[in-house]
């Protein structure tokens, strides 16, 4: 009996993690750790194990809550969209009450972690939750939903810096802006999949507003801005040639990502979105870590 209950619980947990695409935490997590590195270099002190633990918990709580809320708010839209109609809420694999419970627990963990870190983190947590929630509604009234998503992921490194230093410095603002443009760019790519659906349903996105050709141009401009901002970070404390090599590698990965997808060929969009962006975030973090250690 106990074994049966345990197996059912594990199956449900797996379904919840699949619903929020927990594996995609890799997109923002390395940038949160990069914020930790920049804060440590600026202050000359390494973070404690406790600080790292609460930063990681805050990151997981924020992303889990945001993704769960997104699935809840978009459940009806997902059910109508052939691409997303098999997601967990439309098909009943996850009940709405279970999704709400996940969101509540996740945001509670975020608040707990912020409280354990420092007063400024706790005071700014409602602002972070506001943007995390706002993104899910944006497609109903503005094509700038991609930028709002960029802001949501930019919170990761900025929050990590604040957690360690209790203030906001220019290096992490620059990093946050780089993350914003990077995320907004690849989210435009992702939205290309729903170009026809969004236009038919009156939903807002860069592709549905400006068309596919212009969306590619906007994405390129956003990713050029990302690289320029990453280059600015070389002037921050403790970074040098190894970090610059990392930016060079990331630039190459971005170029390859744009080569994978063309306006007349979106067949490799999944590879461009899921694989390349995971490589990009991990790569820049590892090179930054190597530079900081050296």
The span from the CA of 62 to the CA of 156, in Å, is 9
Per-residue confidence (pLDDT) for residue 44, from 0 to 100: 87
Per-residue confidence (pLDDT) for residue 278, from 0 to 100: 85
Q: Rounded to the nearest 10 degrees, what angle do helices 241-260 and 277-293 cross at?
A: 170
CA proximity to 289, closest of 23, 26, 27, 36: 36
Q: Is the pLDDT of residue 290 over 90?
A: yes
> Does 76 map to a domain?
yes
Q: Is the pLDDT of residue 4 over 70?
A: no
Complete DSSP assignment for the chain: -HHHHHHHHHHHHHHHHHHTTGGGGGGTHHHHHHHHHHHHHHHT-PPPHHHHHHHHHHHHHHHHHHHHHHHHHTHHHHHHSTTTTTSHHHHTSS-HHHHHHHHHHHHHHHHHHHHHH-HHHHHHHHHHHHHHHHHHHHTTT-TTHHHHHHHHHHHHHHHHHHHHHSS--HHHHHHHHHHHHHHHHHHHHHHGGGHHHHHHHT---HHHHH-HHHHHHHHHHHHHHHHHHHHHGGGSTT--HHHHHHHHHHHHHHHHHHHH-BTTB-TTHHIIIIIIHHHHHHHHHHHHHHHHH-
> Does 275 map to a domain?
yes
| 56-68 per-residue burial string, b: 16 or more CB within 10 A, e: under 16 | bbbbbbbbbbbbb
> Does 13 map to a domain?
no
Per-residue confidence (pLDDT) for residue 14, from 0 to 100: 81
Name residues whose C-beta falls within 8 Å of residue 182's C-beta, 6 or more positions apart in sequence.
Answer: 150, 222, 223, 226, 277, 280
What is the domain-level CATH number for residue 146? 1.10.357.140
Q: How many domains does the chain have?
A: 1
Ranges 18-32, 33-47, 181-195: which has the least confidence: 18-32
pTM of the model: 0.92
Confidence at 10, pLDDT banded by 50, 70, 90: confident
Tell me the residue range of the domain where 143 lies: 25-293
> Does 149 map to a domain?
yes
> Does 11 map to a domain?
no
List, for residues 125-147, the tens digit of each pLDDT value.
999 999 999 999 999 999 999 99
User: What's the whole-number average pLDDT of the chain?
Assistant: 90
Ranges 6-10, 77-81, 114-118: which has the least confidence: 6-10
The span from the CA of 91 to the CA of 101, in Å, is 18
Per-residue confidence (pLDDT) for residue 8, from 0 to 100: 66
List, for residues 184-203, the tens digit of each pLDDT value.
999 998 899 899 999 999 99
Per-residue confidence (pLDDT) for residue 15, from 0 to 100: 79
């Amino acid at each position: 009996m106990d074994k049966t209950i345990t197996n059912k619980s594990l199956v449900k947990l797996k379904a919840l993690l699949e619903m929020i695409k927990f594996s995609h935490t890799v997109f923002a997590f390395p940038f949160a750790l990069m914020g930790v590195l920049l804060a440590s270099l600026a202050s000359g002190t390494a973070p404690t194990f406790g600080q790292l633990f609460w930063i990681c918990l805050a990151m997981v709580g924020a992303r889990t809550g945001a993704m769960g809320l997104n699935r809840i708010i978009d459940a009806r839209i997902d059910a109508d969209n052939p691409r997303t109609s098999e997601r967990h809420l439309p098909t009943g694999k996850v009940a709405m009450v279970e999704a709400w419970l996940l969101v509540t627990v996740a945001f509670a963990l975020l608040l707990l972690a912020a409280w354990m870190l420092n007063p400024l983190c706790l005071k700014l947590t409602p602002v972070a939750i506001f943007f995390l929630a706002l993104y899910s509604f944006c497609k109903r009234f503005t094509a700038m939903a991609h930028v709002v998503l960029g802001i949501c992921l930019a919170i990761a490194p900025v929050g990590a810096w604040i957690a360690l230093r209790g203030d906001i410095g220019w290096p992490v603002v620059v990093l946050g802006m780089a993350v914003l443009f990077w995320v907004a760019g690849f989210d435009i790519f992702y939205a290309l999949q729903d170009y026809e659906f969004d236009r038919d349903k009156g939903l807002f996105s860069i592709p549905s507003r400006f068309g596919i050709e212009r969306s590619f141009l906007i994405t390129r401009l956003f990713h050029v801005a990302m690289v320029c901002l990453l280059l600015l970070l070389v002037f921050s404390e403790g970074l040098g040639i190894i970090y610059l090599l990392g930016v060079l590698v990331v630039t190459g990965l971005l170029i390859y990502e744009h080569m994978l997808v063309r306006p007349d060929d979106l067949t490799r969009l999944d590879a461009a979105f899921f694989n390349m962006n995971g490589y990009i975030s991990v790569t820049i973090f590892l090179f930054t870590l190597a530079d900081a250690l050296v």
